[in-house]
């Protein structure tokens, strides 16, 4: 199996192993069909503009990650941001739109509306209240696009993501997009949903049509990953337990506070007292990260660009892996605390 | 109504220049420099035509873009008109409940996505769907000179496919395998395998965080040396190399001057950058100069302040046309108007030039004159991803400002190793002549194939030396028949039609490879000749 794709998906770039991966992903997530992309970032940023065009409206959380922001920009749609995880604000925006729709039903008929959110926010670490979003979806007839890069392989009893975590039916969320570069440890990403919806991306998803397909070897790696996920369902609860444990261990880190949902293995340690200069904060955290690396614990300062819609606070990002033992987590937490004490206070 | 009217009218080809219809000459060159009025060209024109680098005595390679014959254009529009009418009839029957198909079944529930609103969906449902067996054909082997196509049939007019469980070994004229590195055996495969054992599959981190491996450093140094620039940066996806870096280089107050036939990734990058975008006619130096002159004299709209930066975006080889950008003339223009040049070598790196270094080597242009050189590893290196090569300060800037290095995971280690191994072979650094042999074989194949097709009176676009050979088919019915007939003869070709090309210029796009032997090409030519006679494709 060679490591390069050598062609676009539509022109002999679809290898049988891609079809197998798509089928397996669709089955795993409980959806009718899945489509795979060769690049995680390209997944959601191609999916959104495939459905939403210039005259359409998207209700989006302010705290979405950069990939979603690029998808929104590429769609050229009218974006209405609601405050991060503020469901009342979203409801208010939807109600306002409903009033406008009633005034102009002809326009409403030709305007699409979507809600875009992340299941587990990459920049903030918290969960999105999905049941509430589904309620809005049903009440206002507005489909949901859910970014699940951090929740796929993390949330839910079998790691199927946010829909399983919240006890919802797969059909309640119209389209999920997830990267295979996070929990799966491979490359690429996928979207899953109803057949006629997902199939549309095969001609309209620019990251799919105009790009080479995933290297077959890396598709095989993802299939093996799915085998492991299906064969060892206990790893998800183990991962979440370790995430909770690590958060507990990191509590009380001098100068830093632990942020985000307790079961999220991606832990943001934000500065308790940030200064007025972002550069100073980043440099301080870099020194802490460097100290940790020198002591044998690799942590990173979360990197952002100034083009972000709302620049998240400066933070150190600690990611928990299910293969780390309790001892290793304790040792790591100790190193981080020592480094923080040395540089921040 | 608008659709039917536009489909039935003779749409003016945006690239058409007022030329007479081609007479019977088999190889008349219609492309000529349109810069007679430009002083820069009249001063330097004699010396600016680089000789053929492989054969200094040979005149400059010709490019040709014959106009579509009038009757073909008429029949093409008529075909689309009939298809659209039929589509509307089918939709009407669906509404009345008299036509049941998987689409109507799927839409029994309310369509929250309102998929019916765009012409795109109408086109997909009623036109593309009928012939979609010609695309997305799965393969079950490495896409080398021959490839195994997975057999599939449809019991419901292409709504769904059923796999029969068998495979057909076909001659592969569709994959971008220019130098034949799409192999699952050999030094590249072995090195990639070892790399997987050492580093795993994915890197799980962006390059700016924990995603930079020592193989990436090695690869970047190698790429810079290969293309002849001081430094390079590599990215995990070719498309994203354009769409995520052009916005980092250009912004508001900047001007992008882009070739009208540039790839979707360049168009996306230009759109997302926020810069003003102006489009010049395909390969028309006159059109480009007019825009540059206007930009420099008029400045930004309303304020008339000078543009912060002007960037000319061109591709080395245009994959749908088989044409080459006139690089020497573009470089002269860029120097005259103090603009920058961004060269996308997705299809030319490894495939053009005596040692495969791309169009700069082909034209004899100094790489230092091209400000940003971009390319992908998908075509000639049998890998994935892309690179940008430029001066050190530009690369240093991009390392911190690129969307890809900040948010997207870096090139997987086995892929990086594949590129290193194949590039080393092409450069001859492995101590063999394998690279040299492959590059020469590709050029020979390209010239031979195109020449034979032209002798058979097919209408072929593009440059003599380009490995991409588009054969014009025009009518949508012929597009599908060409593909299906050749598949019966166990030849896999790629056909492209509207909306990927203009409505009149549907084509078959042959991609030649160094792994094709003369016998394979002769077999393909024989079969294409027969199909061409059957479908009345010749002049």
Q: Express each pLDDT in B468-515 by its tens digit.
A: 999 999 888 999 999 999 999 999 999 998 777 888 889 999 999 999
Tell me the average pLDDT across B121-136: 87
**CA quadruple A71, A77, A83, A86: dihedral positive or negative?**
negative
The proportion of chain B whose per-residue pLDDT surpasses 90, expressed as a percent, equals 67
Q: pLDDT tens across B499-510, in order?
A: 778 888 899 999
A171 by Cβ neighbours in 10 Å (0-12 / 13-18 / 19+) ranks as: middle
CB B385, CB B238: distance < 8 Å: yes
pLDDT at A199: 87
Residues A252 and A313 in one domain: yes
What is the Cα–Cα distance from A146 to A134, expressed in whole angstroms? 11
Q: Are residues A255 and A143 in the same domain?
A: no
Please indicate, yes or no, if residue A4 is contained in any of the structural domains. no
| Pairing label, strands A175-179, A144-147 | parallel
Of A179, A197, A231, the residue that ends a domain is A231
Query: From the list B177, B237, B494, which residue is nearest A39 (CB)?
Result: B237
Q: Do B114 and A207 touch (CB under 8 A)?
A: no
Give the residue from A203, A231, A259 where a domain finishes: A231
Backbone angles phi, psi at B171, to 5 degrees: -70, 130
Element (H, E) at B222: helix B214-227
Please name the residue of chain B whose CA is at the shortest distance from the CA of residue A41.
Answer: B408
Tell which residue, B276, B314, B281, has the closest CA to residue B295: B276
Cβ–Cβ of A12/B382 closer than 8 Å?
no
Q: Which of residues 239-298 of A touch B (CB under 8 A)?
A: 298
461-480 of B, contacting A, C-beta below 8 A: none
The H or E element spanning position B64 is: strand B63-64
Domain identity same for A250 and A184: no
Is the entire prediction scored with pTM above 0.80?
Answer: yes
Structurally, how many domains does chain A consist of?
2
Mean confidence (pLDDT) of chain B: 85
Position with higher pLDDT, A1 vs A94: A94
Indicate the residue among A213, A231, A249 that finishes a domain: A231
Smallest CA-to-CA distance from A42 within B23, B44, B269, B370 is with B269
Torsion A88-A82-A302-A279 (CA) sign: negative
Q: How far apart are CA B64 and CA B99, in angstroms?
A: 47
- Co-location of A278 and A148 in the same domain: no
Residues on chain A touching B201 (C-beta within 8 angstroms) = 185-187, 217-218, 221
- Rounded Cα distance between A15 and A93, Å, is 44
* Cβ atoms < 10 Å from Cβ of B287: 18
The pLDDT mean for chain A works out to 93
- Whether B383 and A51 lie within 8 Å, measured CB to CB: no
pLDDT at B62: 76
| Cβ contact B415–A3 (<8 Å) | yes
A15 and A108, same structural domain? yes
Instruction: Identify the pLDDT of residue B335.
Output: 95
**Mind listing the pLDDT tens digit for each residue in B433-447?**
999 999 999 999 999
Same domain? A221 vs A238: no
Interface of B with A in 83-112 (CB under 8 A): 102-103, 106-107, 110, 112
- Write the DSSP symbol of residue B445: H
Spatial separation of the C-alpha atoms in residues A300 and B333, rounded to whole Å: 45
Asked if B448 and B246 count as a contact pair (C-beta separation under 8 A), the reply is no
CATH of the domain at A201: 3.40.640.10
Average pLDDT over residues B279-296: 94
- Same-domain pairing of A219 and A247: no
Q: Do A300 and B189 touch (CB under 8 A)?
A: no
Separation of alpha carbons B182 and B162, rounded Å = 28
Structure tokens, A182: 């996070």
> Quick check: is A14 in a domain?
yes
DSSP string, B277-314: EEEE-TT-HHHHHHHHHHHHHH-STTT-PPPS-EEEEE
Q: What is the pLDDT of residue B109?
A: 62
Question: What does the pLDDT average to over B46-67?
Answer: 54
Selecting from B110, B182, B237 the residue whose C-beta is nearest the C-beta of A4 gives B182
Residues A163 and A209 in one domain: yes
Q: Is residue A137 part of a domain?
A: yes
Verify that A222 and A294 share a domain, yes or no.
no
Place of tokens 């067996």: B133
A304 contacts in chain B (CB < 8 Å): 406
Average pLDDT over residues A310-328: 94
Backbone angles phi, psi at B133, to 5 degrees: -70, -15
Residues of A in contact with B467 (CB under 8 A): none
Bridge partner residues of A37 (DSSP): A189
- For residue B41, pLDDT over 70 is answered with no
Domain that holds residue A254: 234-343
Angle between helices B518-534 and B476-488 (to 10 degrees): 130
- Say yes or no for a CB contact (<8 Å) between A7 and B175: yes
Name the β-bridge partners of B326: none
Residue A204 has its nearest CB partner, among B120, B142, B206, at B120
With bands split at pLDDT 50, 70 and 90, how would you rate the model's confidence at B137? very high
Q: CB-based contacts of A196: which residues, under 8 Å, 6+ apart?
A: B102, B103, B106, B107, B115
- B414 burial class (0-12, 13-18, 19+ CB within 10 angstroms)? buried
Domain membership flag for residue A1 = no
The complex's ipTM works out to 0.93
pLDDT of residue B52: 45
Give the mean pLDDT of A194-209: 88
Name the β-bridge partners of B324: B317
Residues 143-162 on A with a CB inside 8 Å of B are 143
Q: Which of A282-291, B22-31, B56-65, B414-423 has the lowest mean pLDDT?
A: B22-31
Task: Decide if A255 is inside a domain.
Answer: yes
Best of A2, A36, A134, A212 to disrupt the B interface (most B CBs within 10 Å) is A2
In 3D, which of B362, B270, B272 has the Cα closest to residue B316?
B362
Q: Mark yes or no for CB contact B494/A212 under 8 Å.
A: no
Mean pLDDT of A42-53: 94
**How confident is the model at residue B13, as a pLDDT?**
36
Cis peptide before B314 (omega within 30 of 0): no
CB < 8 Å to A171, chain B: none
The strand ranges marked E within chain A are 33-37, 57-61, 78-82, 113-118, 144-147, 175-179, 189-193, 256-259, 266-271, 300-301, 315-319
Are A10 and B183 inside 8 Å of each other by CB? no
Contact: B113, A51; criterion CB under 8 Å: yes
* Contact list, B383 vs chain A (CB under 8 Å): 3-4, 215
pLDDT at B29: 26
Residues 6 or more apart in contact with residue A101 via CB below 8 angstroms: A107, A108
- Residues of A in Cβ contact (< 8 Å) with B382: 2-4, 6
Q: Are A163 and A170 in contact (CB under 8 A)?
A: yes
Are residue A147 and residue A273 in the same domain, yes or no? Answer: no
**Which residues, 6 or more positions from B199, have their beta carbon under 8 angstroms from its beta carbon?**
B213, B215, B413, B414
**Alpha-carbon gap, residue B516 to A183, rounded angstroms:** 41
Radius of gyration of chain A (CA): 21
Question: A246 and A258: one domain?
Answer: yes
> Is it the case that residue B118 has pLDDT exceeding 50?
yes
Q: Is residue A3 part of a domain?
A: no
Check whether A252 has a pLDDT greater than 70.
yes
List of chain B residues whose C-beta atoms are within 8 Å of the C-beta of residue A205: none
Q: Which of B189, B404, B407 sits opposite A2 (nearest CB)?
A: B189
Residue A301 vs residues A141, A253, A284, A289, A314: alpha-carbon distances, Å: 40, 16, 10, 7, 8
CB contact under 8 A, A112 and B183: no
User: CB–CB of B62/B52 below 8 Å?
Assistant: no
Is residue A213 located within the same domain as residue A319?
no
CATH number, domain containing residue A264: 3.90.1150.10
Q: Give tens-digit pLDDT for A59-109.
A: 999 999 999 999 999 999 999 999 999 999 999 999 999 999 999 999 998
% of chain A beyond a pLDDT of 90: 86
What average pLDDT does range B396-401 have in this prediction? 95
């Amino acid at each position: 199996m060679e490591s390069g794709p050598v062609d676009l998906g539509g022109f002999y770039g679809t290898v049988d192993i891609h079809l197998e991966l798509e089928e397996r992903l669709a089955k795993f997530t409980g959806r009718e069909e899945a489509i795979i992309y060769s690049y995680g970032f390209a997944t959601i940023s191609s999916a959104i503009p495939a459905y939403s065009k210039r005259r359409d409206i998207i209700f989006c959380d302010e705290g979405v990650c950069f990939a979603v922001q690029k998808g929104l920009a590429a769609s050229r749609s009218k974006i209405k941001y609601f405050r991060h995880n503020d469901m009342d604000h979203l409801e208010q925006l939807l109600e306002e739109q409903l009033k406008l729709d009633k005034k102009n039903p002809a326009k409403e008929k030709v305007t699409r509306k979507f809600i875009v959110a992340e299941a587990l926010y990459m920049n903030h670490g918290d969960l999105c209240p999905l049941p509430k979003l589904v309620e809005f979806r049903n009440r206002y007839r507005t489909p949901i696009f859910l970014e699940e890069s951090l929740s796929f392989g993390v949330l839910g009893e079998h790691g199927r993501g946010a829909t399983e975590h919240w006890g919802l039916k797969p059909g309640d969320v119209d389209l999920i997009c997830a990267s295979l570069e996070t929990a799966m440890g491979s490359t690429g990403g996928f979207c899953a949903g109803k057949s006629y919806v997902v199939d549309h991306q095969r001609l309209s998803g620019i990251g799919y049509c105009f790009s080479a397909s995933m290297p077959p070897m890396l598709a095989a790696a993802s299939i093996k990953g799915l085998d492991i996920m299906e064969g060892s369902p206990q790893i998800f609860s183990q991962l979440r337990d370790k995430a909770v444990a690590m958060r507990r261990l990191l509590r009380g880190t001098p100068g830093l506070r632990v942020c985000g949902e307790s079961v999220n293995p991606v832990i943001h340690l934000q500065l308790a007292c940030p200064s007025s200069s972002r550069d100073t904060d980043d440099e301080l955290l870099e020194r802490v990260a460097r100290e940790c690396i020198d002591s044998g614990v690799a942590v990173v300062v979360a990197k952002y660009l100034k083009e972000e819609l709302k620049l998240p606070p400066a933070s150190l990002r600690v990611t928990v892996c299910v293969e780390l033992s309790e001892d290793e987590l304790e040792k790591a937490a100790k190193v981080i605390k020592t480094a923080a004490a040395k540089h921040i206070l | 109504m608008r659709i039917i009217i536009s489909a039935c009218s003779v749409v003016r080809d945006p690239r058409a220049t007022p030329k007479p219809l081609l007479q019977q000459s088999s190889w008349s060159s219609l492309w000529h420099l349109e810069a007679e009025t430009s002083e820069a060209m009249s001063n330097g024109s004699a010396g600016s035509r680089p000789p053929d680098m492989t054969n200094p005595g040979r005149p400059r390679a010709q490019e040709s873009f014959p106009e579509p014959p009038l009757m073909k254009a008429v029949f093409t529009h008529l075909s689309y008109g009939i298809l659209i009418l039929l589509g509307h009839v089918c939709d009407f029957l669906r509404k009345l409940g008299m036509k049941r198909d998987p689409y109507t079944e799927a839409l029994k529930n309310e369509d929250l996505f309102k998929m019916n609103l765009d012409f795109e969906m109408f086109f997909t449902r009623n036109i593309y769907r009928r012939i979609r067996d010609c695309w997305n054909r799965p393969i079950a082997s490495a896409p080398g000179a021959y490839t195994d196509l997975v057999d599939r049939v449809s019991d419901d007019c292409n709504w769904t496919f059923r796999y029969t469980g068998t495979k057909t070994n076909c001659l592969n004229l569709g994959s971008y395998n220019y130098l034949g590195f799409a192999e699952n055996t050999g030094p590249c495969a072995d090195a990639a395998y070892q790399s997987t054992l050492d580093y795993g599959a994915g890197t799980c981190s962006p390059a700016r965080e924990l995603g930079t491996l020592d193989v990436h450093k090695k690869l970047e140094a190698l790429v810079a040396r290969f293309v002849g620039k001081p430094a390079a940066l590599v990215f995990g996806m070719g498309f994203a190399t354009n769409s995520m870096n052009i916005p980092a280089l250009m912004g508001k107050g900047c001007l992008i001057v882009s070739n009208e036939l540039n790839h979707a990734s360049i168009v996306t990058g230009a759109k997302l950058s926020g810069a003003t975008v102006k489009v010049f006619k395909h390969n028309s130096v006159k059109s480009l100069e007019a825009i540059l002159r206007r930009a420099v004299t008029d400045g930004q709209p309303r304020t008339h302040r000078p543009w912060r930066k002007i960037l000319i975006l061109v591709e080395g080889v245009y994959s749908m046309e088989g044409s080459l950008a006139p690089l020497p003339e573009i470089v002269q223009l860029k120097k005259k108007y103090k603009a920058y040049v961004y060269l996308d070598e997705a299809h030319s790196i490894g495939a053009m030039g005596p040692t495969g270094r791309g169009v700069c080597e082909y034209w004899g242009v100094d790489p230092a004159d091209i400000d940003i050189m971009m390319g992908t590893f998908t075509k000639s290196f049998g890998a994935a991803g892309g690179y940008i090569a430029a001066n050190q300060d530009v690369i240093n800037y991009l390392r911190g400002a690129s969307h890809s290095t900040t948010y997207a995971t870096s090139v997987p280690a086995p892929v990086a190793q594949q590129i290193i191994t194949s590039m080393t072979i092409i450069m001859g650094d492995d101590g063999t002549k394998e690279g040299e042999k492959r590059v020469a074989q590709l050029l020979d194949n390209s010239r031979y194939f195109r020449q034979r097709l032209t002798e058979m009176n097919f209408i072929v676009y593009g440059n003599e030396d380009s490995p991409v050979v588009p054969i014009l088919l025009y009518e949508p019915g012929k597009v599908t028949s060409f593909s299906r007939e050749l598949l019966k003869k166990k030849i896999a070709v790629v056909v492209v039609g509207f909306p990927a090309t203009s409505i009149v210029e549907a084509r078959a796009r042959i991609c030649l490879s160094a792994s094709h032997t003369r016998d394979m090409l002769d077999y393909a030519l024989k079969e294409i000749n027969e199909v061409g006679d059957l479908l009345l494709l010749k002049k």
